[in-house]
A and B are shown apart, each in its own frame.
Chain A
Amino acid sequence: MTRPGETQPTEESLTGLFQEEWPRLVSAGLRITGDLQAAEDVVQETLLTALDRWPLQGIPDSPGAWLMTACRNRARNAARDAGRERRALTSVQPAGAAQEPPDPDPAVIEDDQMRLIALCCHPALGTDAQIALTLRMVGGLSTEEIARGFHQPVTAIAQRIVRAKRTLRQHQAGLSDAGADLAGRLPAVLDVVYLIFNEGYLATGGQALTRGELAFEAYRLACLLTRLAPGLPEPWALLGLLSFQLSRWVTRTGPDGAILTLDAQDRARWNAGLIADGTAALGRARGHGQRGPLLLQAELAACHATAPTFEQTDWAAIVILYDELARIQDTPVVSLNRAVAVAMRDGPAAGIALLDPLTREPVLAGSHRVWAVRADLHRRAGDHARAADDYDRALHLVTNDAERRYLAAARSSLPHDQARQSGKD
């Protein structure tokens, strides 16, 4: 035990401890109480007890074990109280029916965490609800933190979580059925984690390009998934993908918050440790012989992360990977990214030819991205009038302020006469 007066743990180390223990405690509480809200309540009470005791008594030698014991005791009390209430209401509960579950071994606790994640991604919940519930129950983020991450009102997120819990209760969803359908829910779980990451990596709204808390929370969840399901390739592929993306985190914007594209980033500042982690995770994912969408996206990210310079990027390999990805996930977004790679390999005209039909895709036409990409290719092809048109469309649709500033700067850097000519069209 860390005695009072000895070197105290830092806020950072305590945050890491509580974040790591949170899903373990929620799933342990859920196994005993059978109710997500009751489980969340006992975990909150447990942490508050630690908050009261640890500063005075010192940090226990095994803080995780201390928290688990305290949580399970509280959960048992809560379950007993709830059982007494039910018996008082019905008076038909046979004596001795409320048996306490035995203490689970560590493997069961780990399995229960995985089941908890699967429960949060129950098919009866919409994607928004799955994301909010996962961040609260697995990530331990407060409603306010989630709302801040997604630039939404706290009340909206709170209602989403309350409704999600109610839906799970109505479906009598628990750890057991989540465990039974673990493999079936894994794609939804991975999707949710990747969506959280994407929102953090490239915010859809707000002033900043990124929201670190969401991106790093998703990375933490991906790490957790690889620990809980080390034999499955997809979590490793996701971890590889996120590691490569995060390796560029600090170089994606300049000191003034302006976007720096890949060719303008200082590769010496990319995080070599994360690139090494990503390469190792990718190796684990490759070992299974299946090449799913996440693995291919991780391979694509690896091409960028391991290229010594922008000019030395292997665009031919990237096009081949996009071809492979399009065969199993033929979406407009994949086509858009493939068009960029083709433009880099064969020149802007080849990319523009692929982009033209994509501007009519309903999924893309309402987003600024396809117009921003085509504007850039027109600019590089020397067609500044068309570039100006497309920048204008992109600027009309973009919702992130950092991206808007980037597009506006690109638009204003076009040769003046031709851009103005476009304005008259």
Chain B
Amino acid sequence: MSEFLLLAIRPPSRGEVSPAGVARDLAAAAAWQEWLRRWGLLRSFGLPDGPAGGVRACLIVRASSPAAAGQLAAGWTGVSGCPVTVTELCAATAAGQGGSR
């Protein structure tokens, strides 16, 4: 297993926000991130203190390959609507280590 940094960038124009829309997206995002945790794939996360070049959040995830990390990134894009970049951090992280922040 390797660790990958997933970086979600806020799109230039998200469009209008409504309570119902945010609630729907938040529930979907919470469910997806809960799924990551349940499978021990979420190692850590980071959130910007303020506007930081449009960065919404970054996740450090465990995945078996760049392709698998890409699938996780696609899943995050699916629930957040944001483009997500993938960067491999290091290889050969022992399975079962960590799994929390």
Q: Is the interface of A mostly helix, strand, loop or mixed?
A: helix
Q: Please, which residues of chain B bring their CB within 8 A of the CB of A22?
A: 19
Which B residues from 23 to 82 make CB contacts under 8 A with A? 23-27, 29-34, 37, 45, 47, 56-57
How does the 8 Å CB contact mask read for A6-45 relative to B, with 1 for contact and 0 for none?
Answer: 0011111011011101100000000000000000000110
Residue contact A144 to B56, C-beta cutoff 8 Å:
no
Residue contact B23 to A15, C-beta cutoff 8 Å:
yes
Complex: chain B residue closest to A47, CB-CB:
B22
CB distance from B89 to the nearest CB of A (A): 18
Q: With A and B bound together, what is the CA distance between A143 and B26 in angstroms?
A: 20
- Check B94 for interface membership: any CB of A closer than 8 A: no
Q: Please, which residues of chain A bring their CB within 8 A of the CB of B45?
A: 56
Residue contact A48 to B14, C-beta cutoff 8 Å:
yes
Residue contact A11 to B18, C-beta cutoff 8 Å:
no
- Check B20 for interface membership: any CB of A closer than 8 A: yes
Residue contact B26 to A55, C-beta cutoff 8 Å:
yes
User: How many contacts A-B (CB < 8 Å)?
Assistant: 82
Q: With A and B bound together, what is the CA distance between A44 and B15 in angstroms?
A: 10
Given A4-B34, A8-B34, A141 and B29 touching (CB < 8 A)? no
Q: Is the interface of B mostly helix, strand, loop or mixed?
A: helix
Residue contact B23 to A14, C-beta cutoff 8 Å:
yes
- Check A296 for interface membership: any CB of B closer than 8 A: no
Q: Please, which residues of chain B bring their CB within 8 A of the CB of A17?
A: 23
Given A10-B27, A15-B23, A140 and B18 touching (CB < 8 A)? yes
Q: Please, which residues of chain B bring their CB within 8 A of the CB of A8?
A: 27, 30-31, 34
Residue contact A56 to B34, C-beta cutoff 8 Å:
no
Complex: chain A residue closest to B30, CB-CB:
A55
- Check A102 for interface membership: any CB of B closer than 8 A: no
CB distance from B56 to the nearest CB of A (A): 5
- Check A392 for interface membership: any CB of B closer than 8 A: no
Given A4-B34, A8-B31, A56-B45, A50 and B18 touching (CB < 8 A)? no
- Check A145 for interface membership: any CB of B closer than 8 A: yes
Given known contacts A11-B27, A47-B22, A142-B17, what 9 new A-B pairs fall within 8 Å (CB)?
Answer: A9-B27, A12-B23, A17-B23, A18-B20, A22-B19, A44-B16, A47-B19, A52-B47, A140-B19
- List residues of B whose CB falls within 8 A of some A CB: 10, 14, 16-27, 29-34, 37, 45, 47, 56-57
- List residues of A whose CB falls within 8 A of some B CB: 4-5, 8-12, 14-15, 17-19, 21-22, 43-44, 47-48, 50-57, 140-145
